[in-house]
């Protein structure tokens, strides 16, 4: 915690579905104070109008170094797009602001490079594929199950506006499954398959098949199905409302103030 009574938070992507939810959550939190809202849409509008509430005195602008320095937040929460998120993180770091990032589509090479930059600047940063605490537990349970059940496939289901596939959560889950495997129970080599339709078996990452579904009516859902001799185990998590992500976002906004270096994955912040 800094010397102030609260942590100043700016939100990038404030007019998006997740961004609006984050703004509302920060406004309701006693330890955090919303000081700026950045978005390429609705420029010049008061954030209160976008949130369909009273005026807040926070005018929506684009994210630039000058705008960020003027707002002087401690933390920048980013829920934007895969094409915008890296420049946004770099801008935050240049201004000495700690990023908390929920935007997916960040590749591992960028995570490594950004981690080096965060370390050089003596700051903290959090990048999390999923901020829902239940989803984080689902990934941890999958890592444990991988010790005992040799085969696993992931089915991830999201709303039809999601831009990237597979989801960051699915990729992170596959990484954790690979890390959890013991040599005697490693994923066996798959026999040659006759695919009558290209992509029918999904994508493969860390020897885990991942299947992505995009449909109206969904928010964020994932199941991990393990197979063993004569049995299967299914671990599933469902987010039915974007409010499910808010406790994790708020926790990260607080804990990033105490961090030195980049933390990838919310599971690394759980006590």
**Residue 96: left (phi > 0), alpha (psi -120 to 50), or beta?**
left
159 flagged as catalytic: no
DSSP strand pairing (32-38 vs 7-12): parallel
Candidate list 158, 211, 221, 255, residue with the active-site label: 158
| 102 in Cβ contact with 126 (< 8 Å) | no
Of 154, 147, 169, the residue nearest 234 (C-alpha): 154
162 flagged as catalytic: yes
Mark out the alpha helices in the chain (DSSP H runs).
17-27, 47-50, 65-71, 82-94, 108-121, 133-145, 168-180, 246-255
The span from the CA of 140 to the CA of 163, in Å, is 25
Candidate list 45, 162, 196, 260, residue with the active-site label: 162
Tokens of 114: 């950004």
Active-site residue numbers?
A: 158, 162
């Amino acid at each position: 915690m800094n010397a102030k009574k609260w942590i100043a938070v700016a939100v990038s992507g404030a007019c998006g579905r997740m961004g609006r939810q984050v703004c509302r959550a920060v406004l309701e939190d006693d330890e955090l104070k919303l000081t700026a809202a950045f978005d390429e849409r609705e420029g010049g509008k008061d954030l209160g109008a976008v949130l369909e509430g009273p005026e807040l005195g926070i005018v929506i602008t684009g994210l630039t170094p000058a705008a960020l320095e003027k707002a002087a937040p401690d933390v920048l929460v980013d829920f934007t797009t895969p094409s915008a998120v890296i420049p946004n993180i770099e801008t935050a770091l240049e201004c000495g602001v700690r990023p908390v990032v929920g935007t997916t589509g960040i590749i591992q090479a960028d995570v490594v490079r950004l981690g080096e930059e965060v370390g050089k600047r003596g700051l903290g940063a959090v990048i999390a594929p999923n901020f829902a605490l239940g989803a984080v537990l689902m990934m941890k349970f999958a890592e444990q199950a991988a010790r005992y059940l040799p085969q696993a496939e992931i089915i991830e289901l999201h709303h039809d506006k999601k831009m990237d596939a597979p989801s960051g959560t699915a990729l992170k889950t596959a990484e954790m499954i690979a890390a959890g495997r013991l040599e005697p129970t490693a994923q066996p080599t798959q026999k040659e398959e006759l695919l009558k339709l290209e992509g029918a078996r999904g994508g493969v990452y860390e020897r885990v098949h991942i299947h992505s579904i995009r449909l109206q009516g969904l928010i964020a859902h994932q199941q991990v199905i393990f197979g063993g001799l004569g049995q299967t185990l299914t671990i599933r998590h469902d987010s039915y409302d974007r409010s499910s992500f808010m406790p994790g976002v708020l926790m990260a906004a607080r804990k990033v103030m105490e961090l030195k270096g980049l933390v990838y994955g919310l599971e690394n912040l759980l006590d």
